[in-house]
Structure 1
Amino acid sequence: MDRPRGLSVRLKLTLSYAGFLMVAGALLLATVWVFLLRYVPDRASFGPGPFTPTRSDLLDAFAPRAAQALVFLLVLGLVGGWFLAGRMLAPLTRITNATRRAATGSLAHRIDMEGRQDEFRELADAFDAMLARLEAHVAEQQRFAANASHELRTPLAVTQTLLDLARKDPTRDSAELIDRLYAVNARAIDLTQALLLLSRADQGAFSTEPVDLSLLAEEVTETLLPLAEQRGITIETSGDITTTVGSPSLLLQMTTNLVHNAIVHNLPDEGSVWVTTAVQDSGVALTVENTGEQLGAQLVTTLAEPFRRGTDRVHADHSGVGLGLAIVERIAAAHDGSLTLAARPTGGLSVTVRLPLAPA
């Protein structure tokens, strides 16, 4: 936005200092003059001699000296005020320069203001913290965009290969080609929907209402029970009524992702999944545990990153697109919650989502 340029803050502070000093000096001189008028009679004799000064003579002698004092105070206020304003605004200049560098894309710069804690130091520290969060967010978005481009390119490349083979070999079985194209297209659709859901959670563009996580857990368990039975996995659901405030559709998707991951990344047969809900302190918790392979602590810390999968079964049926826990983490963060991952000592994973408790 183009705006007419006004006076600088330093000049305004200088004029303010000078003006305040002038007013204070004028009040002091006025006080002296009132004192003289009160205690000096109309006609008085000062010292020997026939001359008897009057109040008019006193005014003639006092006025030039008062004017000289005011001029001196004005010059002192302007010079001293300009110097003091520069010293006071020096930290603000550093913050402004850092802001301009950040506006050009340099997010690695930090102010690192030294000195004791004051308003400028608090502003500089807050600005540094904001730059750190922005730098981490931009790096994450760039990494996510690269991964998303790679993941989206894979089904497109496979589709192109299948179509090229079909063109070169017209006698090829079309039913097999259609089945493979259907599977590749379905995977691309799932990935696109996951990316859209992730973007929706990041933007916080959703309406909220009271939601009972225990009911969501029961609904998701019933929906995914055929998949669990197909893989020979048992699901147990238990817990208390846990009411939070949020988007029913996003929280349902979050619960679905957790239970689906627990079913897919499990033992080949005779595996188990436990879904529990509980009220903890001032929040609610949804915990999904499953049996499975032994997971290292370093691997567990990366499972919530986009396109990371906990096992090598990435191309198996219902294996997902690698955004399950990433979506869960973003949905939890959008609802002022948190996601905690922990490896089970006997194998498998324990995932806990904590959300604020709905007000009574």
Structure 2
Amino acid sequence: MDRQPGLSVRLKLTISYAAFLMLAGILLLVIWMVLQQLYPQWGIIREARSGIGGAFVPGRSNTQRAFTEISVATLLFLMVFGLVGGWILAGRMLAPLTRITEATRLAADGSLAHRVRLPGRKDEFRELADSFDTMLARLESQIAEQQRFAANASHELRTPLAITQTLLDVARNDPNRNPGELVDRLHFVNTRAIDLTEALLVLSRADQRSFTREHVDLSLTAEEAAETLLPFAEKRDITIETSGDLATAFGSPALLLQLTTNLVHNAIVHNLPEHGKVWITTSVHPDAVVLTVENTGQRLSAAMVSTFAEPFQRGSQRVRTDHVGAGLGLAIVKSIAQAHDGTLTLAPRPGSGLSVTVRLPVAPPHADS
């Protein structure tokens, strides 16, 4: 914003301190003079002569003149003292704000690693500094995550394009090659690129929270996702079991269905080669509704599980060669959960496999209830 130049806060505080001190001095003098008029016997000695030597005692007019001169000198001293003292006090009081301003300028120039780290006990300035440091830390983390995501997304999108280019070059150099095989491979690569692009769009939509909220029963969403993926699970000899209570959240039906479908699909893909199982349960707590998806599979470590929700982290030991995926399934789940003010928790399942828990706030009552 383009603003006109003005006085600094320090100068304003200095003038305010001095003006207040001057006002207090003037008020004190006025009160004293009023009292002198009302009660003259309290203060100034009237004109008189001494009984011995005939010397004069100072009269009222001379005393008032001397008092006026002393008052003016006192007010001038108070003004100078107020300006100097106010300038020093204002500087000390605004020193934390100066450090915060400097950190703000560095952040505006792109240096997000700088922190204010204001020492001392808690007050308004230190609360502001701590909040600013927290904001910088989160902003630095988010920007670093976005940069990694952009780099990974660029790499993932470049891969199918490079494969397509290679296939077309081979076909051009070998005109006798079977075109049906080329079309099939191009169709597979193109489908993978479309899936990845759609996943990126869903992720962006969830991050922006650009969706309409309404009441959504997670138990029905879980049943719909299980029914949709049942043929895919049966093909892999995997059994899906759903159970739980009616669990109503408040959010986007499409995104919450995407969340549940991704979890169930992930549980099917990363399972045992045969006789695998997937358990989907919903539950209600005083402050949250919970969706849990568990599956059998290989034994996982906590360190490995902690990376599964990162974009494009497929976990090579968990990936089956017949279905690589875009590497965004759990990243989309995490983003959708956060967009609904919820949390995503991943943990190794006792024995083997993975347990994924999504906690979302309980939906508010219907307007007509």
TM-score range, shorter chain: over 0.9
CA RMSD of aligned residues (A): 1.7
* Structure 1 residues 235 and 99: alpha-carbon distance in aligned structure 2, compared to 1, 3 A threshold: same
1:4 equivalent in structure 2: 4
CA distance in structure 1 between the partners assigned to 2:316 and 2:265 by the alignment? 14
Tell me by how many angstroms 1:263 deviates: 0.7
Distance 2:172 2:93 in 1: 75
Deviation at 1:197, TM superposition (A): 1.1
User: 2:269·2:320 contact (CA, 8 Å) conserved in 1?
Assistant: no
Q: How does 1:229-248 map to 2 (within 5 A)?
A: 229-248=234-253
Any stretches of 5+ residues in structure 2 without a counterpart? none
Q: Distance in 1 between matches of 2:8 and 2:265?
A: 61
Q: Which residue of 1 aligns with 2:147?
A: 142
Measure, in 2, the Cα distance between the counterparts of 1:35 and 1:66: 16
C-alpha contact (below 8 Å) 2:116/2:129 kept by paired residues: yes
TM-score of the pair, normalised by structure 1: 0.96
1:104 pairs with 2:106: no
Deviation at 1:62, TM superposition (A): 2.5
Residue in 1 that maps onto 2:196: 191
Corresponding residue to 2:265 among 260, 268, 271: 260
Contact 2:238 2:277 in 1 (8 A): yes
| Counterpart-to-counterpart distance in 2, 1:257 and 1:318 | 14
- 2-side partners of 1:301 and 1:158: how far apart? 31
> Which 4+ stretches in 1 moved above 6 angstroms?
none
Q: Give secondary structure in 1 for the equivalent of 2:261.
A: helix
Deviation at 1:216, TM superposition (A): 0.5
Distance in 1, Cα, partners of 2:286 & 2:72 = 72
The structure-2 alpha-carbon separation of the partners of 1:52 and 1:348, relative to structure 1 and needing over 3 Å to count, comes to closer
Structure 1 gaps of 5+ residues are: none
SS at structure 1 position matched to 2:242: strand
1:32 is aligned to: 32
Bigger drift between 39-48 and 173-182 goes to 39-48
**Structure 1: which amino acid aligns with 2:182?**
L
**Quick one: which amino acid aligns to residue 3 of structure 2?**
R
Q: Any idea what SS the aligned residue of 1:114 has?
A: coil
Counterparts in 2 of 1:52 and 1:11: CA distance versus 1, 3 Å: closer
1:123 partnered with 2:125: no
1:31 maps to a residue whose letter is I
CA positional deviation for 1:37: 1.7
- Cα deviation 1:209-231 (Å, max 9, x = unaligned): 11110110011111111101111
**Partner residue of 1:201 out of 191, 203, 206:** 206
Find the counterpart in structure 1 of residue 47 from structure 2: 45
Tell me the CA shift for residue 311 of structure 1. Answer: 4.2
Inter-partner Cα distance in structure 1 for 2:131 and 2:111: 17
Shift of 1:43: 9.1
The structure-2 alpha-carbon separation of the partners of 1:47 and 1:351, relative to structure 1 and needing over 3 Å to count, comes to farther
Partner SS for 2:254: helix
